[in-house]
């Protein structure tokens, strides 16, 4: 699913209006109807107090239409119309007149500075425990909300009930940081395609849970629109899943090597190794210090052990010729011996697809730049999987998540690597400049070892011949889906990294059984 800019969405609306054809006010009516359908599914209690707060632009027009439609569905909305500008937009004016004609919906109008223009009922006396629908400012907002209307948004934020925003939380920018006040929504319902701000931590916290539904905007326009931003879903991945032939054997699915583990950290190697095999690798070897030999042989009989000369840490480079892909980093430690061995390993494995994670990244962060910087395209394919702390150690601090995201794309393109920034909506930046936000996963996965599982999964997919870009995208989605399936049964608070490994198979099954909606 594409993520378009506000300007592109505006052009999409105009294109739909011109080519369907449909009047803009009728498209607004359609959108309000789709919202009302969703609202009735989500909040079926028609007796719950309901307040619709509308601005004077098209977002306000949406809200006025929503109030009218919900009133016809036996809800009892009260409307506050904020006449923020000198006049209502054309479509907002039409829906204002339509609502007035109903006469059954209480309507209060506020002018500049909160001046009460007219009132019908007691709409400003909000009862606690209800739902406040926010339709004041939409995604077209181009400057911070200040003065009285900023105070008004703060008053809305203080409401003791749920806040549901239409399109965007009022005051929130869709494509840049929001340093000023905005609505903090519990739910945000948006048209057709999600907004970039939904996926970044500073702004996403203000969006709450979000839902996107189609209002029938032109599909040809969307297909042709160019954007680096994408939302990763089953539709992107299912057609690319490899099918296993009946007469295939383990050699067809690759031999993965994990360089992982050190004294006291062998669990990371076990988690990554089990994930690599669960992701489909035919063979797995783990290169580990001598202290881990018995652990792996006893606890993980499916893996082969490649034993280092050092008792406690990774110190020497194994021969990598026979391996299809390498995963390096989980539980390695960061001592000088291991750092030297890492650099030697990278040089000897430069023609192999590699996943670098955890301590491998921490050791690379101590260098002026990694050995593959500016020439990653000449290597066999590199996937970096930092969490935010590792990203900061590699690249420094950024003023906000938008700036960090731009730099992530830049590095992926300049170095020719796939750069996976883990977190909520894990973002995968590809060498072609595109960035993909993951649609699976939950906060229960914020637990020790979760990243080791992802490293193993991507390594296992690489071993089977998936291109690095696809291995990262598929691994991230399956990893999150395994977490979602595990959380359904175990609850988020109780998730362990090992649970993710146990649900990888069910994640594959869910992806294979998914069917595109007609």
The predicted-structure confidence for 251-267, as pLDDT tens digits, reads as follows 999 999 999 999 999 99
DSSP letter string over 43-70?
A: ---TTS-EEEEE-SSHHHHHHHHHHHHH
Residue ranges and CATH numbers for the domains of the chain are 6-227 (3.40.50.10260), 235-242+249-513 (3.40.1190.20)
For the chain, what is the mean pLDDT? Answer: 95
Grade residue 506 by pLDDT with cuts at 50, 70 and 90. Answer: very high
* CB proximity list for 499: less than 8 A, separation 6 or greater: 486, 490
In a 10 Å sphere around its CB, with 0-12 CB exposed, 13-18 middle and 19+ buried, how is residue 392 labelled?
middle
Compute the distance between CA of residue 72 and CA of residue 163 in angstroms, rounded to an integer. Answer: 21
Give residue-wise pLDDT tens across range 228-239: 999 999 999 999
Q: Stretch 90-94: mean pLDDT, rounded?
A: 98
> How many other CB atoms are there within 10 angstroms of residue 382's CB atom?
23
Grade residue 115 by pLDDT with cuts at 50, 70 and 90. Answer: confident
pTM of the model: 0.95
Burial 17-42 (b: 16+ CB within 10 A, else e): beeeeeebbebbbbbbebbbeebeee
How far does CA 204 lie from the centroid of its chain?
10
Using DSSP's 3-state secondary structure scheme, residue 90 falls into helix
Q: Stretch 41-52: mean pLDDT, rounded?
A: 98
Query: Where are any strands of DSSP class E within 192-309?
Result: 209-213, 229-232, 255-259, 283-288, 304-307
Grade residue 437 by pLDDT with cuts at 50, 70 and 90. Answer: very high
pLDDT for 517: 47
Whole-angstrom Cα Rg for the chain: 27
Helix (H) / strand (E) containing 28? helix 24-42
pLDDT for 516: 57
* Residue of 84, 77, 139 whose CA lies nearest to 104: 77
Residue with tokens 């690798």: 281
How far does CA 518 lie from the centroid of its chain?
24
pLDDT for 324: 98
Q: Stretch 109-116: mean pLDDT, rounded?
A: 81
Give residue-wise pLDDT tens across range 273-320: 999 999 999 999 999 999 999 999 999 999 999 999 999 999 999 999
Q: Stretch 498-504: mean pLDDT, rounded?
A: 98
* Residue of 228, 196, 195 whose CA lies nearest to 212: 195
Compute the distance between CA of residue 112 and CA of residue 122 in angstroms, rounded to an integer. Answer: 20
Grade residue 85 by pLDDT with cuts at 50, 70 and 90. Answer: confident
pLDDT for 122: 58
Give residue-wise pLDDT tens across range 2-25: 999 999 999 999 999 999 999 999
Q: What is the dihedral sign for C-alpha 332, 333, 334, 337?
A: negative
CA 413 to each of CA 23, 362, 475: distance values in angstroms, whole numbers, following the listed order: 42, 21, 20
């Amino acid at each position: 699913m594409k993520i378009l800019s506000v300007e592109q969405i505006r052009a999409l609306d105009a294109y739909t209006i011109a080519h369907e054809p449909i009047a803009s006010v009728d498209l607004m009516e359609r959108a309000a109807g789709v919202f009302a359908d969703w609202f009735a599914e989500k909040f079926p209690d028609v007796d719950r107090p309901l307040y619709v707060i509308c601005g004077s632009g098209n977002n306000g027009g949406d809200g006025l239409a929503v109030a009218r439609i919900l009133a016809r569905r036996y809800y009892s909305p009260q409307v506050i119309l904020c006449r923020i500008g000198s006049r209502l937009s054309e479509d907002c004016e039409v829906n204002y007149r339509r609502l007035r004609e109903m006469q059954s919906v209480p309507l209060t109008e506020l002018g500049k500075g909160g001046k009460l223009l007219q009132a019908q009922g007691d709409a400003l006396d909000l009862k606690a425990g209800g739902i406040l629908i926010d339709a004041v400012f939409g995604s077209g907002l181009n400057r911070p909300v200040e003065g009285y209307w900023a105070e008004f948004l703060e008053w809305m934020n203080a409401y003791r009930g749920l806040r549901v925003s239409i399109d965007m939380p009022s005051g929130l920018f869709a494509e840049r940081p929001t340093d000023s006040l905005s609505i903090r929504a519990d739910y945000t319902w948006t048209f057709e395609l999600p907004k970039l701000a939904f996926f970044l931590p500073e702004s996403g916290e203000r969006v709450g849970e979000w839902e996107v539904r189609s209002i029938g905007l032109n599909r040809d326009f969307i297909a042709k629109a160019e954007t680096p931003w994408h939302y990763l879903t089953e539709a992107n991945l299912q057609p690319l899943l490899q099918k296993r032939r009946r007469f295939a054997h383990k050699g067809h699915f690759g031999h993965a090597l994990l360089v992982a583990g050190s004294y006291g950290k062998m669990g990371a190697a076990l988690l990554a190794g089990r994930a690599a095999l669960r992701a489909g690798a035919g063979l797995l070897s783990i290169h580990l210090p001598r202290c881990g030999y018995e652990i792996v042989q006893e606890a993980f009989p499916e893996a082969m052990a490649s034993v280092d000369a050092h008792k406690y840490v990774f110190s020497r480079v194994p021969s990598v010729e026979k391996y299809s892909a390498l995963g390096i980093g989980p539980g390695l430690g960061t001592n000088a011996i291991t750092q030297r061995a890492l650099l030697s390993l990278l040089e000897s494995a430069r023609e192999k697809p590699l996943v670098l994670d955890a301590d491998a990244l921490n050791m690379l962060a101590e260098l002026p730049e990694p050995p593959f910087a500016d020439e990653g395209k000449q290597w066999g394919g590199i996937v970096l999987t930092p969490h935010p702390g590792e990203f900061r150690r590699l690249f420094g601090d950024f003023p906000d998540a938008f700036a960090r995201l731009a730099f992530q794309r830049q590095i992926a393109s300049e170095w020719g690597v796939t750069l996976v920034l883990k977190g909520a909506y894990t973002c995968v930046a590809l060498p072609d400049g595109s960035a993909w936000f993951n649609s699976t996963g939950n906060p229960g996965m914020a637990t020790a070892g979760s990243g080791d599982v992802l490293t193993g999964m991507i390594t296992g997919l690489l071993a089977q011949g998936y291109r690095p870009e696809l291995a990262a995208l598929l691994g991230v989605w399956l990893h999150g889906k395994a977490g979602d399936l595990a959380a359904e049964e175990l609850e988020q608070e109780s998730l362990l990294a090992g649970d993710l490994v146990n649900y990888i198979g069910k994640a594959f099954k869910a992806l294979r059984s998914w069917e595109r909606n007609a």
